[in-house]
Structure 1
Amino acid sequence: MTEMPTRRRAPGMSTEHRREMIVATALPLLVEHGSAVTTLQIAKAAGIGEATIFRAFADKDELLDACVSAALRNDHVLAELDAVPLDQPLAARLTEAAATLHAYLDRMGAVIGAVHGSGRRGERREPADRSATGGRATATERTHQAVIRLLEPDRAVLRLPVEQLAAIFLGILMGRRGAPGDAETRVETLVDVLLHGVVDTAAATG
């Protein structure tokens, strides 16, 4: 009698990869439902059992903290900024950078707003992967350096040091929403004002 070969089970997903998959699934649901989203909803969307979530996270609060931590991470933003071609005109470089950073800020704000706007309060636990991202100060400095890189090719023709202009650019971008109820300022307009000022020179000299 021929012996049937033993079927080997595929290797299971590591805990870290499982956590990343669950967080990636939870993020859009968190934006849509806030912290009222249930672990059952997340499990169904991820195609896993609810118990699997609690093998990866101690409780729902830890999962929400991981979602906030993921929203704060800017590794992918830095990669996109580093990919901006330096042979483009300065305005094109800064517009592309502004659009990339705006998308990141929108995502981060939506996740954090969803968590806190749904009534979740209290002390948030320190993210487990804080050492990997270097903390918010390190992330901010890395973003600053990425913008400096985009300004560097035009250093000789700029009125201020590229380090200072990068800080101004980021400061303007962070506050682009303006007063409550105002329409958002387009990134193209912000870049134009940064490069050419607020005075219409043609009208002023006409």
Structure 2
Amino acid sequence: METRRTRATPLAPEERRAAIVAATRPLLIEHGSAVTTRLIAEAAGIAEGTIFRVFADKRELFHAVAEASVNPPGAQEQMARELAALPDLPSKLRHVIDRLAARLQESLLVLMAVRSALLNEPHQPASGPPTFLLEANKALVDNLTDLLFTPHAEELRLPPRKAALVLRSLTVGTWMPGLNRGQQPLSTDDVIDILLSGILRKDDH
């Protein structure tokens, strides 16, 4: 017996766009840039033509997935809610580091899968990373500064923004594929210890 495809539930264009992006992300991680619009449509529960009513082409869709992966919508509000429920700086650091590590690993898989699309980004600077990566990095440092470190400024030796830059550098350097090949990467505990205690021995006197 033939199964008839039901029509997709009507959604506003931005909602439909977000739903297609969400359905495409795991497919890109699994199949890379070879993923087809047919697979995407099946995962999103829509007809293939619906994709091209909200995206000009597959390259534009892949670009949107990459952007949403490195700078998810609502990330600032979500971080604020989650940190407000935690009692002190060490527990907040642990939560943020674990979340950043997971997001970074997923984002890098997506970025590698859509590399060719990103290289052809029309507004990409003549050299350097795509504009949306620069914007995502600024948003991350701003959020770490304002939401994580500024409420604990009196506990810090460094200004909150410098602390945010150190945390960003440690997490990116720790979980960037290829940088730690054959070596034991820093753990969450290691990153917290370095941030809060530094690398020098303390003088007992």
What is the letter of the counterpart of residue 21 of structure 1? A
Q: After TM superposition, what 4+ stretches of structure 1 lie above 6 angstroms from structure 2?
A: none
* SS in structure 2 of the partner of residue 159 of structure 1: coil
- The CA distance in 2 between the partners of 1:29 and 1:144, in whole Å, is 29
1:144 paired residue among 133, 141, 144: 141
1:50-65 matched pairs, under 5 angstroms: 50-65=48-63
For the Cα contact (< 8 Å) 1:86–1:153, is it kept in 2? Answer: no
- The CA distance in 1 between the partners of 2:28 and 2:67, in whole Å, is 13
Q: Aligned residue for 2:191?
A: 190
Q: Does 16-25 or 84-93 show the bigger shift?
A: 84-93
1:45-124 matched pairs, under 5 angstroms: 45-83=43-81, 84-85=83-84, 88-116=87-115, 122-124=119-121
1:157-168 matched pairs, under 5 angstroms: 157-168=155-166
Aligned residues: 188
For the Cα contact (< 8 Å) 1:68–1:111, is it kept in 2? Answer: yes
- The CA distance in 2 between the partners of 1:114 and 1:135, in whole Å, is 16
RMSD over aligned Cα atoms: 3.0
Structure 2 unpaired stretches of 5+: 1-7, 125-130
For the Cα contact (< 8 Å) 2:62–2:117, is it kept in 1? Answer: no
The structure with the larger Rg is 1
Structure 1 unpaired stretches of 5+: 1-9, 128-133
Q: 1:190 to 1:49 in 2, by over 3 A?
A: same
- The CA distance in 1 between the partners of 2:49 and 2:156, in whole Å, is 58
* SS in structure 1 of the partner of residue 62 of structure 2: helix
* SS in structure 2 of the partner of residue 13 of structure 1: coil
What is the letter of the counterpart of residue 140 of structure 1? N
Deviation at 1:24, TM superposition (A): 1.0
Deviations, residues 29-68 of structure 1 (Å, cap 9, x unaligned)? 0110001011111111122222222222222222212222
Q: 1:87 to 1:43 in 2, by over 3 A?
A: closer
For the Cα contact (< 8 Å) 2:59–2:117, is it kept in 1? Answer: no
Percent identical residues: 32
